[in-house]
Structure 1
Amino acid sequence: MRRCQAPSQVAKRISGGEDDLSAEKTRVRPKKKLKPNPDSDDESPERKPLGLLSNLTRAPIIGLCSPGSTVSMSPHEALIRRLLNKPFKIPIKGYVGGSYGRSLGVRRTGGRQPLHDPDAEGALVLHEPVLLSEHEKLKVDVNSLEVAVVVDPILCNVLRPHQREGVKFMYDCVVGSRISEYHGCIMADEMGLGKTLQCITLLWTLLKQSPQCKPLIDKVIVVCPSSLVKNWFNEIQKWLPNRISPLAIDSGTKAEIDKNLTGFMNTYGRRPANPVLIISYETFRLHAHVLHTSEVGLVLCDEGHRLKNHENQTYSALMGLKCKRRVLLSGTPIQNDLLEYFSLIHFVNEGILGSSQEFRKRFENPILRGRDADATDEDHKKGVEKLQEMAEIVNRCIIRRTQALLSKYLPVKIEQILVCKLTQLQMDIYQAFCNSDTIRRSLKSEDGAKMTSSSLAAITSLKKLVNHPDLVFPACRERKEGFETAAEFFPPGHDPDRGRLRPELSGKLSILDCLLAVVKTTTTDKVVLVSNYTQTLDMFERLCALRNYGFVRLDGSMSIKKRAKIVDQFNDPSSSYFIFMLSSKAGGCGLNLIGANRLVMFDPDWNPANDEQAMARVWRDGQRKKCYIYRMLALGKIKYLLDENIIIL
């Protein structure tokens, strides 16, 4: 407490003691007089307060840089001063500046300017402002002029020509310049053409730029299969190091995930901590109620062919998202029928083809009627017209390039079809199955009816038989339908559960055994084995244990975190893994297995699109070796006929 505020002092002032107090305040301590120095004749010159001293003998710290300096110095001294006056440098090793290209407290002078130079060499300009005459510029507010949208050079310098074209196409679609009032598109490039990099370029550009000299969006959601969540996170970190921090949701309890998603949806402003959310389709469906709370600037759906059914819960959850800019990525957009194609188009541009009932009436029925074998010339002509009409609409929002473009950048790819003869054991069991009375009765169809469930079950049994007889041995031992007499064809005492695997009992497995032995002893290549059945993968494990091959396995039972970990381990050139076993249903989409350059399709799928997805795992960006794709077929039986039709398709 100040003395003047003390109660005693306040009382003095009130009682009239102000004079005494003022007198006390006016007392000044007498100054001590300095004795003059008899040895010095100079006296200190009088100067005004804050004035510059002219007789200092010490060199000034800033020297000639000081605005009021009157010290003269030699040219050499001036040079040394300039060399020693270094600009301030941040004392952090490897510091490259902020991620936003601006400094605190520094404001750009003049009118609006693009974030990157549109006239730089190799610049990719996504939007060019309208050129105005000098007279028009006088009438327009400088702060309302549009600026050019230019891709960040860190990404532009690594984009290939077809990728630059793809980024430009997607940008025009999401800003609504290609189709008025519609802001979606489908990136349908075949596998390996760099769809991920193109989408990273798009989202980074939209998060930072727009013609109005501000970010166009503030949040992005990337929805992908669970096995690709970590891959998307790594790709963003690879192409945009230290520039963006994505939020990847790949594990956690329901409460933890809800908390993270709520924080993401409630984040606004120019510099959010996590502007990009990476989430799987399953997690999105389970937590859709949180993601529907506010608006999102852009949504990217990787492996978007999973949305081919517009009636399932995942599709409905994504349609409920408050986002008008939607990009769907798929290497195989058309698989089975036109209605699935409609679902994909309807997701990115809702209503452009009408409702599903309107689409059937307007396009699907006339096109299918025109392709019917009994169609008249009029039906065929109308079907062609409707197909062209639909193509004109959808081609404005879909872009597709083939893998032929990769031949300029990737090593040679060789595809070989290995036709394998069945062993005598397989032939005997096959004939006994087909001649069985129970199978004949179950396969009979009346009036040319379509395949029944019993027919498909019989075909599945034969597919397993041609892979290896051990896969049907339990059915033979239990004398199930079709295998009543098959057990007698096996060698005496044969028991696959106790004895070691015998590859010589299967034509396909014996050839695979020889192929792996040759690759192992003569090369340093790695091999990917692809199958549709977990039983076949179990058989591969027994073969690797028999031959002492190092292997890893990915199927539907593996967690998301572990999938990303084993992929990284297998792709490491120093790893001892020789074989990667892959279930085409669980991990055939989107995985990057460039650590291997040989892939074996042991049993092709009914849907050729699944085979295309699986075969593209090794021949893609980053591959440096010549690639070999082997498709194994069984000769002369139903498996060969099925696979032959698949190859023709």
Structure 2
Amino acid sequence: MYSAHQNDFCAAPMENTFTDVDAFSVEMEEGDSKFTKRQDARTSLPQFEDERPLFHSNQTPPGPSEPFLLSGNDVKVPYTINRYLRDYQREGIQFIYHNYAKSRGCILGDDMGLGKTVQVIGFLAAVLRKTGTWKDVENNKPQFLLSQKPSEQVQKVFLIVAPLSVLYNWKDELDTWGHFRVVVVHGVRKDEELARVQRGRCEIALTTYETLRLCLDQFNSIDWDAVIVDEAHKIKNPKSQITQAMKDMRCEVRVGLTGTILQNNLEELWCVMDWAIPGCLGSPVGFKNRFSDPIELGQKHTVTKRALAEGRKAVQELAKSLSHWFLRRTKALISDQLPKKDDRVVYCSLTDFQRKVYRAVLDTEDVTLLLQSSGKCHCGSGRPRKKCCYKLNANGVPVRYLYFSYLAILRKVANHVALLQSKEGTSKKQEKYVTAICEQVFRKFPDFTGRCKQAAFEAMSDPVYSGKMKVSVNTLYVYCMAEGLEYHRLDGNTKAKDRVKIVKEFNSSRDVNLCLVSTLAGGLGLNFVGANVVLLFDPTWNPASDLQAIDRVYRIGQCRDVTVFRLISLGTVEEIIYLRQIYKQQLQSSVIGRENARRYFEAVQGTEGQAGELFGIRNLFRLQTDGTCLTHRILEVKSSLTQHSTPVYICCISWLLLP
């Protein structure tokens, strides 16, 4: 999210000066048109005080003090906004308008922190004929309050869909950058606000993905000029209810905003693009055969020259197809305005107790059953064991349910053994299985509870701790309480409005220099520029989640160098998760970044017989006990493929999780 303080010229938005000197106030009640007039005091104010945006700064805005023309003389970004724009942002506004004028959708895929929000606001200001002055306020008045001169407002209405965590950020930014009539369609008043939209009382409606899904018919009763979706990668799963609802929206112009359109695999890219411009990349099967398969095979370390050439050709063809509807710029555009970032991977050896518990989980009969589940059944049917005589374990639980339950347990043990005592971090479906499994482990270690109570972390002076599972944040919370540390906390239970308050307090106060944040709750739309150290407590399957968390700190507005520590438990499932992150990032670099990415791995995702060192159940359910680092071996041996290698700092340390 772009915010005013990110710009050198945008120190802070001006205070609302309209409250005490309004020409009149209007009180609208349901079924009543009561209003009161007050004397017009605006004639005594300088004209520029009515402009939006207007930031208090001694510096002159860098841009021209004239509108930015998009089409003829009538569609233009007002000079009040244009003077603060960078060239690439004007290009982005032009890109959105070009597709809007052709009644088709598009995706703005800029890196986080490049101002996708302000580009959308510039586009909206242009098509709504805004001037950024008091003239907009006059035009926004109810019709019966206008003078004999008719209103110049344009009768258009736009819908912006965003995650709840950034919904009110959008409201704040729209109020900062212009005079828009905005309603928030969410919560108990959503029906009332939708009725206002239907009566033509607003220009922009803000809502969440979930509200739109639940009230789809009501939203479809409105003739939207365009639907703009923030964090559009949430539409990456074609089978999800949110994706289905978004595809059922009755609007031709669909604009998506995401800096991470490709997070796990190429099918996600297809799904988001197919929402914005239906059919633009063909059918799912055709896309897989034409693009996904050759591109992913071309990423293999020992790929043949022919397969490598076919993969690169597919990348070029895909880039050409995307160029009409997809625009992406990276942080290289603003690298001169950013401080340095030092990204370190810290490999932490398991304690003896951790290792014993981890091994005890792997030695259970269920894990043995899982490891043998794909083998041919001994009955001679030729079918896999999990589909023949071994569908259930000894307790009658389907084998397919065991996979995610045991994976969740291994992640907890790799993180902190005490997490086994918590039910959080597992789904309700997994909960009963996880509880039963943990009881088996506890029986092997009678002093388990006592040892967990004495658990201690190695202290590190880092202002932002980020963990994926809420339970990780809870564990850190207990530690901070015990040590008497002052801290802020932000997780999935934090209300949307409280999140903004917490972030503002953390960024402005020097009294508290520690914030505990769950990766998923703090990864969207929040700016922690008050921090300069990020500690990622546990890796996520999706590399974009970790990158988004880092970019909350490392962005425009950050004045200090930033250090990132990624903690990985050596030889465990966490190391495989991190290696898969690298695999996915290399794929993203090839397809979206159009780079000749390094080919580190033998594995090919989703291809039978090509599990390599990354995929498949055997890579996940094992413990490397020789003390070596798999990541280091892979990167060290195969880094000769490229002359341009990003340094990876690997420090193997003993981490005192338990005494």
Query: With structure 1 as the length reference, what TM-score do the two structures score?
Result: 0.66
Q: Which residue of 2 aligns with 1:571?
A: 507
| Structure 1 segment 46-61 matched on structure 2, within 5 A | none
| C-alpha separation in 1, matches of 2:421 and 2:528 | 34
Give yes or no for the alignment of 1:259 onto 2:180: no
Is the contact made by 1:425 and 1:490 (CA closer than 8 Å) also made in structure 2? no
Q: 1:529 aligns with which of 455, 465, 468?
A: 465
Within 2, Cα distance between the matches of 1:440 and 1:312?
32
Equivalent in 406, 411, 431 of residue 463 of structure 1: 411
Correspondent of 1:295 among 223, 227, 246: 223
Say whether residues 1:396 and 2:329 are aligned partners: no
Q: How far, CA to CA, are the matches of 2:366 and 2:289 in structure 1?
A: 43
Decide whether aligned partners of structure 1 residues 386 and 556 sit closer, same or farther in structure 2, where only a CA change above 3 A counts: same
Residue identity matched to 1:158: Y
Alpha-carbon shift at residue 539 of structure 1 (Å): 0.5
Q: Does 1:158 align with 2:57?
A: no
Q: Does 1:593 align with 2:528?
A: yes
The yes-or-no answer on 1:169 pairing with 2:95 is yes
Residues 55-70 of structure 1 correspond to what in structure 2 (within 5 A)? none
Alignment of 1:141-156 (within 5 A): 146-147=72-73, 149-156=75-82
| Structure 1 unmatched runs, 5+ | 1-87, 102-119, 129-145, 177-181, 268-272, 504-509, 520-526
Structure 1 residues 467 and 249: CA distance shift in structure 2, 3 A = same
CA distance in 2, matches of 1:97, 1:617: 32
CA distance in 2, matches of 1:490, 1:365: 50
2:70 maps to 127
Matches within 5 A, 1:150-299: 150-176=76-102, 183-208=104-129, 218-240=156-178, 243-252=179-188, 256-267=189-200, 274-299=202-227
**Residues 360 and 462 of structure 1, relative CA distance in 2, 3 Å threshold:** closer
What is the rounded CA distance, in whole Å, between the counterparts of 2:290 and 2:170 in structure 1? 39
User: Which letter maps to 1:184?
Assistant: G
Structure 2 counterpart of 1:197, one-letter code: V
Looking at structure 1, the residues matched to 155 and 283 of structure 2 have their Cα atoms a distance apart, in angstroms, of 29
Q: CA deviation at 1:611?
A: 1.5
1:389 deviation in Å?
A: 3.3
Query: What residue in structure 2 maps to residue 548 of structure 1?
Result: 484
Looking at structure 2, the residues matched to 389 and 297 of structure 1 have their Cα atoms a distance apart, in angstroms, of 32
Report which stretch shifted further, 331-340 or 312-321: 312-321
Q: Note if contact 1:174-1:325 (Cα within 8 Å) is conserved in structure 2.
A: yes
Cα distance, 1:315–1:492 mapped onto 2, change above 3 Å:
closer
SS of the equivalent of 1:445 reads coil
> For 1:473-531, what per-residue CA distance to the aligned partner results, in whole angstroms no more than 9, with x for missing partners?
579xx9954874665657587065xx5x621xxxxxx33xx213xx5xxxxxxx22211
Change (3 A) 1:339 1:435: closer
Q: Is the 8 A contact 1:192 1:620 kept in 2?
A: yes
The more displaced of 281-290 and 403-412 is 403-412
Relative distance call for 1:282 and 1:577 in structure 2 (3 A) is: farther
The residue identity in structure 2 corresponding to 1:292 is N
Q: 1:567/1:387 Cα in 2 relative to 1: closer, same or farther (>3 Å)?
A: same
When residues 183 and 492 of structure 1 are mapped into structure 2, their CA distance, relative to the original with a 3 A threshold, is closer
What residue identity is the alignment partner of 1:627?
V
Q: 1:411 to 1:100 in 2, by over 3 A?
A: closer
User: Per-residue deviation at 1:601?
Assistant: 0.7
Cα distance between partner residues in 2 of 1:247 and 1:304: 21
Counterpart code for 1:207: L
The offset of 1:350, in angstroms, is: 2.2
Structure 2 match to 1:580? 515
C-alpha distance in 2, partners of 1:587/1:484?
A: 35
Q: CA deviation at 1:227?
A: 0.6
Secondary structure of 1:396's counterpart equals coil
1:389-409 alpha-carbon deviations (Å, 9 max, x no partner): 333221111111222333211
**Residue type of the alignment partner of 1:198:** Q
Superposed CA deviations along residues 348-392 of structure 1, whole A, max 9, x for unmatched, are 222323454554566556766888999998887666555543332
Cα distance in 2 between the residues matched to 1:286 and 1:399: 31
Q: CA shift at 1:303, angstroms?
A: 0.4
Which residue of structure 1 aligns with residue 342 of structure 2? 414
> Over aligned residue pairs, what C-alpha RMSD do you find?
3.7
CA distance 1:413–1:122, change in 2 (3 Å) = farther
Q: Which secondary structure state, in structure 1, belongs to the residue aligned with residue 568 of structure 2? A: strand
Higher RCO, 1 or 2 (CA under 8 Å, sep at least 6)?
2
Of the candidates 240, 243, 268, which is equivalent to residue 340 of structure 1?
Answer: 268
**Residues 56-83 of structure 1: per-residue CA shift (max 9 Å, x gap):** xxxxxxxxxxxxxxxxxxxxxxxxxxxx
SS at match of 2:450: coil
1:428-480 deviations in whole A, cap 9, x for unaligned?
A: 222333344443334323339799543443332222112222112579xx995
2:450 is the alignment partner of 1:494: yes
Larger Rg: 1
Match of 2:31 in 1: none
